[in-house]
Amino acid sequence: MNHAAIKRSVKEIAEHVRATVHGDGRIEVTGVSSIASASPGDLVFVEDEKNLRLALQSPAAAVIAGAFAAGNTASKPLILSSQPRLAFARAAQFFSASSKREPGIHPSAVVHPSARLGKDAVVGEHVVIGESVVIGEATRIGAASVIGSGVRLGRHCQLYPNVTIYPGAQLGDRVIVHAGAVLGSDGFGYVRDKDTGRYEKFPQIGRLEIEDDVEIGANTTIDRGALEITRIACGTKIDNLVHIGHNCQIGEDVVIAAQTGFSGSIVVENNVVLGGQVGVGEHARICEGVMLGGQGGVLPKKILRGKGVAFWGTPAQPLRQYLKQLAAVARLAKK
């Protein structure tokens, strides 16, 4: 991934990613790449010694590596980090942050006069920004996005095209929202009339609050609270095609993989990891540090406990117990 107009010295990159340089720190780098697709000027990374030789033989200008490379007498400069993959990710962000479009409002955008846009904000083509919206500095809003009245966006957010944010939602700083996401829509709440058998809408007048450093995948939907607040806490990462129902409380640094679905009023505590296609019933609680494997199912009002414990299956149970049951079923089938 080369950015021809951007050049960073190895020394600059090392300082940015909080690593040390082994070799010539004046060498200039123009982008990041995998080892297989590296071009002259690229930065690559390795996490083990066996791949270091391949990286050094590639056309890349410099290599991020771990302490195992400290004694290497390489012709290329090395950036030494205790976490090479993390250092590489930070280096990639360093380059992408330097290649953003110029701030300003596209002539085709519709911005309500009462909206307040921070310094260096970017508003793309055909964006609609409603009444009393507040947008923080250096936040970027992609083409055809709709920002409802009273929405507050923090600083340095990135909204990709066709994002819809319903009125009253609040997003913190450095939030990333990918294309097609819908934030703050009505929850799926109805009351049935016993006399007629018909369903009538229960009020969906709560709010959605998304805290700092959250990332939300493409075509994900998050409902606002019915009467209260749906909250996504700091640092949580949500994949594509995820649905989070009304009144859910998602903790800090939670990871939610694609096609996961949450009913209403679910609590997910900090540092939980959920695999793809997980389903969680209403009023369930997933406690801190739990890991739930793909297609796992949590029944309504169920509580999953155990920091670092992996759960699997439907209904979800500790992995060891689940595997024992599978083995027992297999033995029965043989009989």
CB atoms closer than 10 angstroms to residue 255: 15
Residue identified by tokens 């955008």 is 109
Report whether 311 contacts 329 (CB < 8 A): no
Q: What is the C-alpha separation between 90 and 64, in angstroms, rounded?
A: 11
Pick from 300, 305, 302: nearest CA to 288: 305
CB atoms closer than 10 angstroms to residue 60: 23
Interior/surface letters 119-151, b for 16+ CB within 10 angstroms, e for the rest: ebbbbbeebbbbeebbbbebbbbbbbbbbbebb
Catalytic hit among 3, 106, 246, 283:
246
Residues contacting residue 73 through CB under 8 Å, at least 6 positions apart: none
Residues contacting residue 136 through CB under 8 Å, at least 6 positions apart: 118, 121, 153, 154, 155, 156, 157, 173
Q: Tokens in use for 224?
A: 């606002």
For residue 2, list its beta bridge partners: 31
Report whether 78 contacts 62 (CB < 8 A): yes
246 in active site: yes
Report whether 318 contacts 310 (CB < 8 A): yes
Cis peptide bond upstream of 315, omega within 30: yes
The Cα angle at residue 227 between residues 208 and 297, in degrees rounded to 5: 70
Q: What is the C-alpha separation between 248 and 282, in angstroms, rounded?
A: 9
Listed in sequence order, the DSSP H helices in 25-82 are 52-57
Positions marked catalytic? 246
